[in-house]
Structure 1
Amino acid sequence: MSPAPKPAHPVSVVGIGADGWAGLSAPARTALQGAGVLIGGERQLALLPASCAGRRVPWPSPLRPAVPRLLAEHRGSTVAVLASGDPMFYGIGRALTEELGAGALHVLPHPSSVSYACARLGWPVEDTEVVTLVGRPAARLAAALYDGRRLLVLSADAATPAAVAALLREHGFGPSRLRVLEQLGAEGEAHVDGTADTWAHLPGDPLNVIAVECRSAPDTLRLGAVPGLPDEAYEHDGQLTKRHIRAATLGTLAPAPGELLWDIGGGSGSIAVEWMRAHPSCRAITVERDPARAARIARNADRLGVPALRVVTGPAPAALAGLPVPDAVFIGGGLTAPGLLDACWDALPPGGRLVANTVTLESEALLAERYRAYGGELVRLAVAHAVPVGGFTGWRQAMPVTQWSCRKPPAPAPGPAPASADTTGDTP
């Protein structure tokens, strides 16, 4: 009997579906049969036949911290790592690439659960939003809820469908249709159908994907996809950047994917929340000195679908020490605190943005001084609301907000070295 062929790379990453060995391509089988070490989840390892004779190593929990150690232990061996479906789609492929680099890996993907689900549902993949709840709080699903939107939710376990149904009811999306697709691609594939309002199915297979067709109840508060959510969307004690000013402020801050915001004087957290809702990869840290308000910010973040918002409780600028470098800073309170503006400006990298709002004359004078020193833009934002005046209607003016915004200039390029003085000749 000839020995099994050896894989061409020291670390192969093989995607495997619920159909197991039968669904693998010839190159994937070759990689697994030729590996001296097989790393994967216990469920995935159990799908391999005896012809995959390498040492079987199940992933420990938590998984991510164990990756460097396991790779180091088996350095010099041919290693095959098993992943569910496509290893580069919310899979172990990312962690392995971060540790080893793409050139050290041979990735052999399998159709993902998303591809299978869209095939079963007749949904175009490019029009379907995917939200993973594997190792993540269910609250993050709230940011994806829009009437008429189709979502695929990657489940953490058998209890996830019931948790998703409860979250939909809580957010006014009880009429939404839910379909749970279990064991996609396997002989035991099964589908369960219902609505969030009437969901009473018992937990089924832990390997499942949830398809959601979002439908809101008639009285559900409408939340848009752009900054300027209704003030009623927030729990607050009056310390809230109001809707129209908030929309203008987020427009000036200009969040971009992957960027980090410092929100100083968080109040109710509305600026940080809507910064993070701008894109799933946007990150924010809000700093609030009052513990009750800090707790309120965390509740608002959960309810509006951005539970990853980091809340730091403490006074600025002291509470800023040790925070990661921001791409933008918003100061909504505490402008007159000694050293705050300087600390925020110094923390920004070249090209970073600073936006500060105030309604007091003292802070306005401070912003005018910085405008003279650094430039940027100094504007006054005013909003008036129509209100009853007897039997008529008049305007009630809200307090005007002064806003300074500025982009930090790049560091000056080093100039040429000064010429050496000539001390050998006569002084003219």
Structure 2
Amino acid sequence: MDVHVTVVGVGADGWDGLPASSRTIVEGARTLLGGRRHLDAVPANPGQERIAWPSPLRAELPALLARLDGPVVALASGDPLVSGIGTTLIDLLGSESVTVVPAVSSVALARARMGWPAESAGVVSVVGRDVRLVVPALSAGRRLLVLSSDESTPAAVAELLVGLGWGESRLVVLGDLGGPAESRLESTADAWGETAPRLHVLAVEVRGTGPGWAMGGVLPDDAFEHAGQITKRDLRASALARLAPAPGQLLWDVGAGSGSIGVEWMRAWPSARTIAIEPRADRVALVRRNAERLGVPGLAVVEGEAPRVLAGLEAPDAVFVGGGSTADGLLDACWSALRPGGRLVVHAVTAETETVLLDRYRRHGGELVRLHVERAEPLGGFTGWTPGRAVSQWSIVKGDS
């Protein structure tokens, strides 16, 4: 597509709040794209075609853009690159074909109303997404700005907080920021009963006695539902250090068990993705429950035996194999699918699997370590050390061998 699109941010004060330079861009457009609310706010222009966003947007937008020629202007709320259409257009056309003229974002306005410096408040978007994505950002004292889908979001977030033990959290709904109808509603999560306006930002001060599951830390074992099939916390930390989660990257968690590695991978970065592969139906359900409860409901699960079910899956940036490494062709299939520069980490607890890893290490290199963890426990009237089962860990970066 050769079309170039200029995206103009519009505040809640509409046309009257646009600077003269932005008005000139909008008035000079041959085609004006936008939501019906934005299009209706722009004064009539007989020589201008006006087109409301199609639905479904992502599926229909390429065909719409392909038939347009310039100048094309798209209207967006506030900063078009904050959960906005600007991001979608850049994904489709490339940054060289999109010019963004932002207004003050709703995030900036919300911080100003709350008196929260940028470095003191996180931002979580649940626009068109599951509210459980808030969960990885929760910890005592944390300040969050939640970009809401609609008027139902505050009640859903309040219910979520109460269920996790954060019922004392302060919730402030900042409605129609920057516009003549700007409003403010405030309560605690456990007392929430307000009716929110459709357009708002939800400010949250996390208070209470909920679990400290903040993004970036390795979770305690009891954060997961499991029946013993879990990569324990210390071993999980070692594996994740070598898997090296990164924004937008995909992990295959092969032999997922409770899904602990895949869940941790996705909690490390909001855009990180996981495909968990697990042959047992009861454990597939377990992985899904853990993913939903711990704030990564987008974790995908494939039920079936590896390596058979790996064919056709999107190529991973990292692979963790927590069990089943002795299956014929499994490690070869994982290695073959792995992208260049990708990381493979394999755990072994049996002598047979250790033999497989030792052979791989001798042939391909990488790093082979044996991990022993001992925990202090009561021993009569004293304290003694109880060793856990030793785990051998082979890790390698594709391109190192």
TM range (shorter): over 0.9
Larger Rg: 1
Describe the shift of the 1:211–1:360 C-alpha distance in structure 2 as closer, same or farther (beyond 3 A): same
- Asked if structure 2 preserves the Cα contact closer than 8 Å seen for 1:350 and 1:410, the reply is no
TM-superposed CA distance for 1:351, in Å, is: 2.2
TM-superposed CA distance for 1:265, in Å, is: 0.4
Within the candidate set 128, 134, 137, 1:141 is matched to 134
Alpha-carbon separation, structure 2, partners of 1:63 and 1:206: 20
Alpha-carbon separation, structure 2, partners of 1:257 and 1:60: 29
> What is the CA RMSD across the aligned residues, in angstroms?
1.7
Alpha-carbon separation, structure 2, partners of 1:241 and 1:105: 45
Alpha-carbon separation, structure 1, partners of 2:381 and 2:34: 73
SS class of match (1:197) = helix
Describe the shift of the 1:99–1:255 C-alpha distance in structure 2 as closer, same or farther (beyond 3 A): closer
- Asked if structure 1 preserves the Cα contact closer than 8 Å seen for 2:365 and 2:400, the reply is no
TM-superposed CA distance for 1:100, in Å, is: 2.6
- Asked if structure 2 preserves the Cα contact closer than 8 Å seen for 1:176 and 1:215, the reply is yes
State the match for 2:111 in structure 1. 118
Q: Percent identity?
A: 55
Q: Which amino acid aligns with 1:67?
A: L
Q: Which amino acid aligns with 1:125?
A: A
TM-superposed CA distance for 1:410, in Å, is: 6.0
State the match for 2:168 in structure 1. 175
- Asked if structure 2 preserves the Cα contact closer than 8 Å seen for 1:67 and 1:95, the reply is no
SS class of match (1:32) = helix
CA deviations on 1:301-334 (whole Å, 9 max, x unpaired) are: 1111112211111110011111122121110011
SS class of match (1:341) = helix
Give runs of aligned pairs for residues 324-403 of structure 1, distance below 5 A: 324-403=314-393
State the match for 1:36 in structure 2. 30
Describe the shift of the 1:388–1:98 C-alpha distance in structure 2 as closer, same or farther (beyond 3 A): closer
Q: Which amino acid aligns with 1:23?
A: G
State the match for 2:150 in structure 1. 157
TM-superposed CA distance for 1:178, in Å, is: 0.5
CA deviations on 1:221-256 (whole Å, 9 max, x unpaired) are: 333544431111001121111111111211222222
Pair 1:83-2:76 in alignment: yes
TM-superposed CA distance for 1:389, in Å, is: 2.9
State the match for 2:311 in structure 1. 321
CA deviations on 1:99-141 (whole Å, 9 max, x unpaired) are: 3333333322111100111111111123321111111111111
State the match for 2:54 in structure 1. 60
- Asked if structure 2 preserves the Cα contact closer than 8 Å seen for 1:33 and 1:53, the reply is no
Q: Which runs of 5+ in 2 are unaligned?
A: none
Q: Which runs of 5+ in 1 are unaligned?
A: 1-8, 412-428
Which moved further from structure 2: 190-199 or 402-411? 402-411
CA deviations on 1:5-45 (whole Å, 9 max, x unpaired) are: xxxx9532111111000111112111222222221111211
Alpha-carbon separation, structure 1, partners of 2:383 and 2:109: 58
Alpha-carbon separation, structure 2, partners of 1:72 and 1:289: 44
Within the candidate set 215, 223, 232, 2:207 is matched to 215
Describe the shift of the 1:315–1:375 C-alpha distance in structure 2 as closer, same or farther (beyond 3 A): same
Alpha-carbon separation, structure 2, partners of 1:387 and 1:43: 64
TM-superposed CA distance for 1:62, in Å, is: 1.9
SS class of match (1:292) = helix
Scaled by the length of structure 2, the TM-score of the pair is 0.95
TM-superposed CA distance for 1:266, in Å, is: 0.4
Q: Which amino acid aligns with 1:367?
A: L
Scaled by the length of structure 1, the TM-score of the pair is 0.89
Alpha-carbon separation, structure 2, partners of 1:128 and 1:253: 28
- Asked if structure 2 preserves the Cα contact closer than 8 Å seen for 1:227 and 1:250, the reply is no
SS class of match (1:396) = strand
SS class of match (2:375) = strand
- Asked if structure 1 preserves the Cα contact closer than 8 Å seen for 2:372 and 2:390, the reply is yes
Q: Give aligned pairs, total.
A: 399
